[in-house]
Amino acid sequence: MDTPAQAPKLQFDTHPSKYRHWILAVDGEIARLTMKVQPFGGANSELELKSNSYDLSVDIELADAIQRLRFEHPQVKCCMITSAHEKIFCAGANIYMLASSTHPFKVNFCKYTNETRLAIEDASQHSGIRFLAACNGATAGGGYELALACDEIVLIDDGSSTVALPEVPLLGVLPGTGGLTRVVDKRKVRRDLADAFSTLAEGVKGKRAVEWGLVDAVVPRSKFADTIAQRARDLAAKATAVPRGPAVELDPIGDYRHVALKLDEKSRRAELTVCGPTEAKRVEHASFWPLRMARELDHALLRLRFEHENVGLLIVRTEGDRKIAHQMGELLMADDGFTREVRLNLARTLRRLDVTARSLFAVVDQSSCFSGPLFELLLACDRSYVLDADGVEVWPGSLSAGALPGWNGLSRLETRFLADPQRAQRVLAAAKEGPIEAGTANQLGLATVFADDIDFEEELRVAVEERASISPDALTGMEQNFRFAGPETLATKIFGRLSAWQNWIFIRPNATGERGALTMYGKPERPQFDFRRT
């Protein structure tokens, strides 16, 4: 396990000064995020991103902008998303990019764009930033899915611009960024109208789009600018007041300081080690350990997803001073604006881990530091291997009582102990007394496997080897079902259900076969289908 991760091929870390596809302008309470996709500025410079269609590089910048609004622009209460093109808001994910991508990339691309849309909704819900989709032209596919992630959608009424989800009729795949779920579960569009809409390649415009609930308003071109400006002010005025600020600039990630990702491509596994803080001190700076650590962890997860597809098992370790890590966790419970954002960011990063299609085994031994915020890593794993020895401890803090919820809205402790919520309380109560030694942790239900020195390494070795021998598809399906136990939310529907259908459809010959709809897109011949219904 000594091959260090190679330099990332995709740049997951960016900055507004480097954006190629977006312009972020902040004016008092209102931010304006303008999409202007550089046709040959995508990840593949040979592929033209026409009509504000996007690839991953476009979405990385969008995610970065949303993140910076929260940390660097605490005065912003409404962000308007619009386009620099005259007649096009956004044409969605670029079809040629999708059609020429591998299946794992397609799935990971959809997952990332879903996470970005959910981050928009998270910023609205928790940071008091309302989002307004100012659709000043055609709004199709992923473009409409982006609009759906906003609090309000205003469509230009110019006689031609529509909102559309043309994926089903044109491409034989599903809208892959939560579109179907948001249409019926977020906007609560009548299901028969949703059916009619999602099978109508040309989309719906004007009054009908409002009547069907697909947009909130349509506005003629002459009044568009004024109307959206007014609506943005109204949204800002109505945004929930939450503590914000002070502004803290997010520095470049560069070399990791708190996270190490060691890859062993040959045995298809990786070791992720997260180091705890060296002092429990709150600094209003990007170097604040929980912020920096979470950003590095997020970055490492994206590299793992996109650059190391064959690595199926992540062994999660922690290191450091448990007492300091615990104190840091308690500091993170403060309700000032900056600390809140740091905590919310950590919650999002842990949820990124929850939908990472890799087996996750936590290893708890003498050197580990599953304490404070890092205790959540143990709970996020599919299994925990706890060494039965003196000096092995875990130490949950107040954060584990619900401040870092999973996708289902519950704390990870609640999800773990669905059968008996009292057991979650018992863990928290025990931690109030101090670190929980290994034997007690096991009794409390925190160890999947609890073994002494003689057996520990062997148990782990066998489990790791067994895992590596199992079909990666079956593991993904199993893990995704187990990680989403308990209540359902928009997010669990998107990741648990919609993504699964999308995965299935992407791999079917009807979409990606030689004559499948996605393959044939843009060609003169019609796709050919195997019409058996399943």
Site for a second copy in 424-463 (CB under 8 A): 445, 448-449
Q: What is the total residue count of the chain? A: 534
Report the C-alpha gap between 310 and 412 in whole angstroms: 28
Q: Which residues, 390 to 429, sit near a second copy by CB under 8 A? A: 415-419
Q: Is 100 in the site for a second copy (CB under 8 A)?
A: no
> Which part of the chain contacts a second copy (CB under 8 A), choosing from 38-46, 102-110, 146-154, 253-261?
102-110
Report the C-alpha gap between 438 and 387 in whole angstroms: 7
- Cα–Cα distances (Å) from 299 to 53, 302, 304, in that order, read 24, 5, 9
Q: Which residue has the tokens 């009582």?
A: 401
Q: State in angstroms the smallest separation of the CB of 461 from a second copy.
A: 15
Report the C-alpha gap between 297 and 17 in whole angstroms: 24
Which one, 280 or 441, has the nearer CB to a second copy? Answer: 441
Within 10 angstroms of residue 15's Cβ, the number of other Cβ atoms is: 13
Of 58, 140, 149, 381, the one binding a second copy (CB under 8 A) is 381
Which one, 185 or 234, has the nearer CB to a second copy? Answer: 185
Q: Is 383 in the site for a second copy (CB under 8 A)?
A: yes
Which one, 46 or 266, has the nearer CB to a second copy? Answer: 266
Q: State in angstroms the smallest separation of the CB of 360 from a second copy.
A: 10
Of 149, 346, 517, 519, the one binding a second copy (CB under 8 A) is 517
Q: State in angstroms the smallest separation of the CB of 474 from a second copy.
A: 4
Sign of CA dihedral 224, 60, 380, 364: negative
> Which part of the chain contacts a second copy (CB under 8 A), choosing from 3-11, 72-80, 117-125, 504-512?
504-512
Q: Which residue has the tokens 């393959």?
A: 519
Q: State in angstroms the smallest separation of the CB of 133 from a second copy.
A: 19
Q: State in angstroms the smallest separation of the CB of 41 from a second copy.
A: 27
Q: State in angstroms the smallest separation of the CB of 13 from a second copy.
A: 23
Of 8, 16, 41, 169, the one binding a second copy (CB under 8 A) is 169
Q: State in angstroms the smallest separation of the CB of 464 from a second copy.
A: 12
Report the C-alpha gap between 449 and 433 in whole angstroms: 24
Tokens of 317: 């370790």
CA max distance for the chain:
77
Of 15, 18, 50, 103, the one binding a second copy (CB under 8 A) is 103
Which one, 79 or 379, has the nearer CB to a second copy? Answer: 379
> Which part of the chain contacts a second copy (CB under 8 A), choosing from 9-17, 88-96, 304-312, 391-399?
304-312
Contact 307, 255 (CB under 8 A): no
Q: Is 257 in the site for a second copy (CB under 8 A)?
A: no
Contact 209, 215 (CB under 8 A): yes
**DSSP secondary structure letter of residue 145:** H
Q: State in angstroms the smallest separation of the CB of 482 from a second copy.
A: 5
Of 168, 369, 431, 460, the one binding a second copy (CB under 8 A) is 168
Contact 348, 300 (CB under 8 A): no
Which one, 393 or 479, has the nearer CB to a second copy? Answer: 479
Q: Is 326 in the site for a second copy (CB under 8 A)?
A: no
408 half-sphere exposure, CB direction, 13 A CA radius: 20
List the one residue out of 269, 308, 270 whose CA is nearest residue 8: 308
List the one residue out of 529, 527, 523, 521 whose CA is nearest residue 95: 521
Cβ neighbourhood burial of 432 (10 Å; 0-12, 13-18, 19+): exposed
Report the C-alpha gap between 52 and 37 in whole angstroms: 5
Q: Which residue has the tokens 């529509």?
A: 162
Of 21, 268, 295, 322, the one binding a second copy (CB under 8 A) is 268
Q: State in angstroms the smallest separation of the CB of 492 from a second copy.
A: 8
Q: Which residues, 460 to 489, sit near a second copy by CB under 8 A? A: 466-467, 469-488
Of 214, 280, 357, 399, the one binding a second copy (CB under 8 A) is 357
List the one residue out of 251, 377, 405 whose CA is nearest residue 320: 377
Which one, 70 or 111, has the nearer CB to a second copy? Answer: 111
Q: State in angstroms the smallest separation of the CB of 430 from a second copy.
A: 17
Contact 378, 372 (CB under 8 A): no
Q: State in angstroms the smallest separation of the CB of 86 from a second copy.
A: 31
Report the C-alpha gap between 229 and 441 in whole angstroms: 55
Q: State in angstroms the smallest separation of the CB of 146 from a second copy.
A: 19
Contact 490, 182 (CB under 8 A): yes
Q: Is 514 in the site for a second copy (CB under 8 A)?
A: no
Which one, 189 or 274, has the nearer CB to a second copy? Answer: 189
Cβ neighbourhood burial of 319 (10 Å; 0-12, 13-18, 19+): middle
**DSSP secondary structure letter of residue 186:** I
Which one, 180 or 328, has the nearer CB to a second copy? Answer: 180
Q: Is 74 in the site for a second copy (CB under 8 A)?
A: no
Q: Is 129 in the site for a second copy (CB under 8 A)?
A: no
Residues in the interface with a second copy (CB under 8 A) total: 94
Q: Which residues, 198 to 237, sit near a second copy by CB under 8 A? A: 198-199, 213
Report the C-alpha gap between 117 and 111 in whole angstroms: 10
Of 15, 50, 87, 191, the one binding a second copy (CB under 8 A) is 191
